[in-house]
A and B are shown apart, each in its own frame.
Chain A
Amino acid sequence: MAHSMTPGQADLAHILIRMRLALLRNSLRGDRATNLYFGVLLGLALAAGTIVVAVLWPAYLPLALAVWLIGWIFGPIFTGGGDETLRPEYFAMLPATPRRIAAGLLAGAFAGPAPLVTLIALLSLPVYGWRHGPAGVLIGLAAALATLTTMVVISRVVVAVIGLFVRSRVTAATAGIVTGTALALSGNGWAPAVALGTTDTLAWTQTLVRVLPSGWGVAAIEASWPLALLILAANGAAIALLLLAWAGLLARRVVSAARGGVPARRGTPRPFPAAGGARIAAAKELRTWWRDLVRIQLLGTAFSYALVFPLLLVTIDSWIMVPFTGLIAIVMAAGVSANLYGVDGTALWLTLMTPGAERADVRGRQLAWLLVVGPAATVLTLAGTAVSGQTWAWPWVLGLLPALLGGAAGLIVCIAVTSLVPGTDPHKRGGNPLNTGADEGAESGLAWLMLVAVPTIALPTAAAILLQPWAGIPVGLLTGALSFWGLGRIAHRRLESHGTELLSLMKHGPAPQPTGKGTAADLPLKHRVAVTLCYCVAWLPTFPQGIVPMIFKIVGIQDPVWFLALHLPPLWQWPTIIFMITLGLLMYGYAILIPMRISSAP
């Protein structure tokens, strides 16, 4: 007899949790496992920090929790659609209502390191509740669980909404613009707040962070008993509503035919130019940019961030960042293009099977990227500098623009072939177009690497401008041209010599080592600790203690703030700045080069 009944809700949840853990266990191999351990360690440090905030600076607890919420909302958008270990498609044929499946999937979603780390951070709520007596602790505990559930469901709903509604270029660009604006706000959002009213800004932000779902727990603890219970009940109702929405979205997702993030309505394609080599590869790549909603969305994020970030400072009448709008756009656009070969998956086989196509493909990708990003970035730079009235900025932007453009166009292909992060082939991805199936930690690591490496390339140009403002233009042009040519050359040479290995990596994942031989591909632990440390800390000497005081000194700002160099006697200021920048660059160099050397060693 056929069974038509699925297990009860608790059993279903239990089964999905076990399935998720089994999948997690199987995917934890080599570098991926180490990445996870370090991610968890970092998360635990942040969680401990949150608890410290609850003890020492309780007024800032709602703000700290809001940061966790923002992480849950925007994390998935940047790290490839969030965790999709349990894809809804797997359970499409299970005879159960979407709501029950959604509840089961939600339970499965908790079986992972991220919710656990967040829960530890949320223990700051009962810790904060202690100030209000035992009842406060009790409410804090309940609120911690409710807040965790809320954060996880919100994150899922956001991914589902994007996956389902980003079906046209307009919606993709809109989603990108919203993300970019939110990112810019989280960096410079204080500026308009200050501009709105200098006196009650604090009160205003205090209210805001309590109104956010992350702040309900604090609100409940601070409220009277009945009101606290009411807030908790409202939180429960919000969770139920979100779950209902998620179930509906999932049900629509598994039966929707549109896959792969392709715009639904398209005109008749324009014929290819009758060219060969790099030009034809660029034509292919440009079509890919235009027909991939994820790429359009990421570009939207990059450019809207670049536009909004400097403009927010204009609200307090500071125009200093406006000339650099285009330059920020270049760096951000390079960051979102870091895994250029990984996202195309095993399509690489065609390049490998076409004699001499490696060079054409690399150059074509570089050209296409320049065509996509270059004109807009140039217009933003020229317009931004002209409008801002910051005439001192002209030599800076005109020198840095070619250096950054060429540097980024060189780095994106170079890093894409040397540090490729394998994902799922585009035609095998599920109903979530954001999800590339790649190791999220490694993919965002690549983006960060790009955000650091691109500005680094422009440092010689910056140095030249310091010495002689207008020398920056020839140096910038030369840097850009050399980076474009040289890094591109490294990339296509590497593709010629290691293309087969890259293809295997994408087809079969990281090669399993024969047991007993040890994993040579993984970094030794001491190097891994050092590399992680360098990545985490190197920004400190490079930017705030190096480049920023350098700019302060050049522009003539007297306030030393927390910049070590500016607190020292004038004689020591320049040597300290140079030492700091050098130290930072050495740390970045070590962090980037050591893994490359070890992984390329036989």
Chain B
Amino acid sequence: MSTHPEPALQTTGLRKAFGDHVAVDDVDLTVPAGSFYGLVGPNGAGKTTTLAMAVGLLRPDAGSARIFGVDVWHDTVQAKALVGVLPDGNAMPERLTGREVLTYLGLLRGLPAGVVAERTDELLQVFELDAAERTLVIEYSTGMRKKIGLAVALLHAPRLLVLDEPFEAVDPVSAATIRAILSKFVDSGGSVIISSHVMALVEQLCDHVGVMSDGRVVAAGPLADVRGTATLEDAFVGLVGAQSRGTEGLAWLTA
């Protein structure tokens, strides 16, 4: 466990409304340094919006976010140097190849050219993107896009990773690779927060969990505390109050 006194990520009272719809309402999250944090919740719970506000990609209506004690909205530059981000569904420099994206962003961050080349090579190999050297990002498949996004998040060796749905659309082999990379990162003192709706995955990877529903955090803390004696999935269903409606309706489909 890390001995860092400041939490890796702390949000206080984050709020965001789109028109009349309040997407995120008064969200307090604490990701302890050195933890692997899973943010779970049903579709539309506000996970993506929360993470975007936490890293400085979406201005909150109220509240604040700190990365290792650095205020994201005041000391923007300092905070951004500490974090690697994988947002959900954003565009990339679409007309560059994967290698070019990493080279460009590494040099733009001021890393020495030698270091950039070395890390780019390694990242492309690990994520198995080195076979598509002449493919532009705009031509990538959904899974490839996710992987180049992860590579971008890792490139500058940040101390905190904020990953929105990192396993979505990724094939099982790549998913295992990503799991291994993230676990190793946490073991060496890094901190990770991922959002997901795959409970089994979160249960297996994470040591801390936050459960969101309707824009609010309904439970948060160490995994063991949140799930109690049941599985995370049962705890989640209990917390979110979702009922399986699969058995009713659609009679015409089975007729």
Binding site for B on A (CB under 8 A): 259-260, 262, 266, 268-269, 271-272, 274-277, 280-281, 283-284, 287-288, 291-292, 344-347, 349-350, 352-357, 360, 425-427, 500-501, 503-504, 507-508, 511-515
Contacts across chains A and B counted by CB atoms under 8 Å? 124
Interface size in chain B (residues, C-beta < 8 A)? 44
A425 CB contacts on chain B under 8 angstroms: 89-91
**Which of A268, A349, A514 counts the most chain B CB atoms within 10 A?**
A349
A288 to B139, CA, bound (A): 14
Q: B94 — nearest CB in chain A belongs to which residue?
A: A426
From B56, B87, B100, B108, give the contact of A269 (CB < 8 A): B100
B171 interface contact, C-beta 8 A: no
Q: A353, B20: Cβ atoms under 8 Å?
A: no
Choose the segment among B77-85, B214-222, B227-235 that binds chain A (4+ C-beta atoms closer than 8 Å): B77-85
**Which of A262, A276, A504 counts the most chain B CB atoms within 10 A?**
A276
Chain A proximity of B97: nearest CB distance (Å): 6
Binding site for A on B (CB under 8 A): 17-20, 55-59, 76-78, 80-81, 83, 85, 87, 89-97, 99-100, 103-105, 107-110, 113, 133-134, 136-139, 145, 152
Q: A353, B107: Cβ atoms under 8 Å?
A: no
Interchain Cβ contacts under 8 Å between A and B, 6 examples: A272-B100, A276-B107, A284-B100, A354-B80, A355-B76, A425-B91
B81 CB contacts on chain A under 8 angstroms: 355
Q: B93, A288: Cβ atoms under 8 Å?
A: yes
**Which of B94, B134, B137 counts the most chain A CB atoms within 10 A?**
B94
Chain B proximity of A359: nearest CB distance (Å): 11
A275 CB contacts on chain B under 8 angstroms: 107
B104 CB contacts on chain A under 8 angstroms: 272, 280-281, 283-284
A353-B138 contact in complex given A287-B95, A504-B59, A514-B17, C-beta closer than 8 Å: no
A514-B107 contact in complex given A347-B94, A500-B58, C-beta closer than 8 Å: no
Q: A500, B57: Cβ atoms under 8 Å?
A: yes
Chain A proximity of B153: nearest CB distance (Å): 9
B136 CB contacts on chain A under 8 angstroms: 262, 291
Chain A proximity of B149: nearest CB distance (Å): 10
A291 CB contacts on chain B under 8 angstroms: 95, 136
Q: B109, A269: Cβ atoms under 8 Å?
A: no
A276 CB contacts on chain B under 8 angstroms: 107-108, 110
Q: A262, B138: Cβ atoms under 8 Å?
A: yes
A513 CB contacts on chain B under 8 angstroms: 19
A503-B145 contact in complex given A280-B104, A355-B80, A515-B19, C-beta closer than 8 Å: no
Q: B95, A262: Cβ atoms under 8 Å?
A: yes
Given A262-B95, A262-B139, A426-B138, 4 more contacts at CB 8 Å?
A346-B90, A347-B94, A355-B78, A503-B57
